[in-house]
Amino acid sequence: MSWLLNSSIGRKLIMSVSGFFLVFFLIFHATMNMVAVFSEDAYNTICGLLGANWYAVAGTAVLGGFVAIHFIYALLLTLQNRKARGNANYAVSVRPSGVEWASQNMFVLGIIIVGFMLLHFSQFWYKMMFTELMGHHEVALGTSTVSPKDGAEFVKFYFSHLWVVVAYLIWYVALWFHLSHGIWSAFQTIGTSGKIWLSRWKVIGNIFATVVMLAFAFVTIYFYARSVIDPSTVAMYY
Amino acid sequence: MDKTINIKLKIWRQKGPKYQGAFKDYSLDGVSVDTSFLEMLDILNETLINKGEEPVVFDHDCREGICGMCSLYVNGHPHGPDEDVTTCQLHMRKFKDGETITVEPWRSAGFPVIRDLMVDRRAFDKIIQAGGYVSVNTGGVPDANAIAIPKPIADEAMDAASCIGCGACVAACKNGSAMLFLSAKVSQLALLPQGKVEAATRAKNMVAKMDELGFGACTNTGACEVECPKSISISNIARLNREFLKAKFND
């Protein structure tokens, strides 16, 4: 199986498969977020079920592994591709019509996404799973303390800040662009695409990216709007 | 009387592979819009020779769009601004009076510059030699109808076979990838029963050769398909991926 690491198509397969895995995680995450809109209790049940249990920790480790693989191979392939391109740049270069902007900027988009992920982890994962792993059962949130299992409180607190909402929305836009190219590209790499399915995967990829990102954006905006309409729900944190 | 235009040219001049190249400006007046781009360069070279200067070196051969020898990166496009034609089929009517035309060689680590606008594209020959053929013992010629091939498949193989190996795909690709070329050369044979026999070794050997020669990996931007003078589809790249992965998993 050394071809997987040594051949250009093998490395692309690694990008494709790890990308697919992360897409499946996004479906799970978006669905879980939508639950919070309908019932905070149900959302907290899911948070409690995951918590710092061994399977949640193992899942997080696997997920982190896939992010690392996807990122490391993106870096590796980008460097190799730059080398293949050579040092001489064209004096005039035009992006031909029909070439998506996202397709030529996947690495930059990836860096933006990872950057916001660090913000997200510092706000949620670090204060939830990590706190529990450290053996604490209370964590400071604004001027109050809550249980690290109380996911809904974290959502309400952070999404009551306008800058957090704006930052997350920028994140979703970057993710949308990344997915709008990434999904059909992943299908192309595993070879499931053909003359007809090439266009179909593009449409499916765009619809999927739009639906998932709208779900994330809806939850973010919903909780911000709630904090504005009824400030009492987050008053204890200020 | 023909319509004529006056143009300014910004042409890449480089003495040899090891020399530092630079753009040089030229102007050419009274160029008929009916001249082809290469004829325009011929006219320029004639004036240069008459002045005792070195003419601009560029690749060309058949001048009817089928040999794949001409190259040139004109105003940011391989084979120039016209669609689905090679540089030799590009005409001066595509340019405006007074326009500055920038002419560069293909730029990719796989295609080093030999001189001026001429690049070394022997890497493509090496890829073909690695497996882009069908081994046959030529004996009596069998009847053409002995092996029936459905028309859509024959057409798709023919479309792939229209690749002339000019290298515009590599020139257009931000990764300097040769995947469109390779996919066309693998597809034209993989689609047909005669080519299926050696399909697995062909895909493996040609991809290995492409990687060895330092071409980049495909990131599916599709720039190659847009700039290809023969409109080779990137669906061929999916087929190449399929053929390669199938061959490797069957090992």
Element (H, E) at A73: helix A54-85
> What percent of chain B shows pLDDT beyond 70?
100
Return d(Cα B197, Cα B195) in angstroms, integer. Answer: 6
- Classify the complex by whether its ipTM is higher than 0.85, answering yes or no: yes
Go through the domains of chain A in sequence order and give each one's CATH number: 3-237 (1.20.1300.10)
A contacts of B220 (beta carbons < 8 Å)? 103, 181, 184-185, 188-189
Of B107, B207, B214, which has the smallest distance from its Cβ to A9's Cβ?
Answer: B207
> What's chain A's length in residues?
238
Q: Nearest chain A Cα to B156, which residue?
A: A195
Contact between chains at A96 and B233 (C-beta distance less than 8 A): no
Is residue B66 scored above 60 in pLDDT? yes
3-state secondary structure A160-226: CCHHHHHHHHHHHHHHHHHHHHHHHHHHHHCCCCCHHHHHHHHHHHHHHHHHHHHHHHHHHHHHHHH
pLDDT on residue A108? 96
DSSP B143: P
- The owner of tokens 């001048």 is B63
Do the beta carbons of residue B230 and residue B164 sit within 8 Å?
yes
Judging contacts by C-beta atoms under 8 Å, the chain A residues touching residue B217 are 8-9, 11-12, 77, 80-81, 84
**pLDDT tens per residue across span A16-66:** 999 999 999 999 999 999 999 999 999 999 999 998 899 999 999 999 999
Query: All domains of chain B, ordered by start, with CATH?
Result: 4-114 (3.10.20.30), 122-137+147-250 (1.10.1060.10)
Long-range contact pairs involving B39-46 (C-beta distance under 8 Å, separation at least 24): B40/B7, B40/B92, B44/B9
Is the pLDDT assigned to residue B112 strictly greater than 70? Answer: yes
**Residue A97: pLDDT above 90?**
no
* Alpha helices (H) in chain B, listed in sequence order: 37-50, 122-129, 151-161, 168-172, 179-190, 193-196, 199-212, 223-227, 235-250
pLDDT confidence band for A234 (50 / 70 / 90): confident
B102–A92: do the CB atoms touch at under 8 Å? yes
Phi-psi region of A187 (alpha: psi -120 to 50; beta: other; left: phi over 0): alpha
CB pair distance less than 8 Å for A103 and B222: yes
CB contact burial A64-78 (16+ within 10 A = b; e otherwise): eebbebbbebbeebb
B214 closest CB neighbour out of A84, A100, A192 = A84
- Partners of residue B160 in chain A, C-beta under 8 Å: none
User: Would you state the structure tokens that stand for residue A137, as one six-digit string?
Assistant: 């059962």
Find the helix packing angle between B199-212 and B179-190, rounded to 10°.
170
Q: Using CA atoms, how far apart are residues B230 and B189, in angstroms rounded to an integer?
A: 18
**pLDDT above 90 for B146:** no
A184/B220 touch (CB, cutoff 8 Å), yes or no: yes
Helix axes A106-120, A162-189, angle to 10 degrees: 140
CB A160 within 8 A of CB A220: no
Residue A236 in this model has a pLDDT that exceeds 90: no
> Where is average pLDDT lowest: A182-186, B37-41, B136-140?
B136-140
Residue B152: what pLDDT? 94
Q: A112: which 2 tokens?
A: 């933006």
Closest-CA residue to B182 (of B208, B212, B218, B206): B206
Quick one: closest CA in B to A73, which residue?
Answer: B217
pLDDT score recorded for residue B1 = 55
Please answer yes or no on whether A91 and B23 come within 8 Å at the CB atom. Answer: yes
pLDDT in tens, B198-219: 999 999 999 999 999 999 999 9
> Hey, are the CB atoms on A86 and B156 less than 8 Å from each other?
no
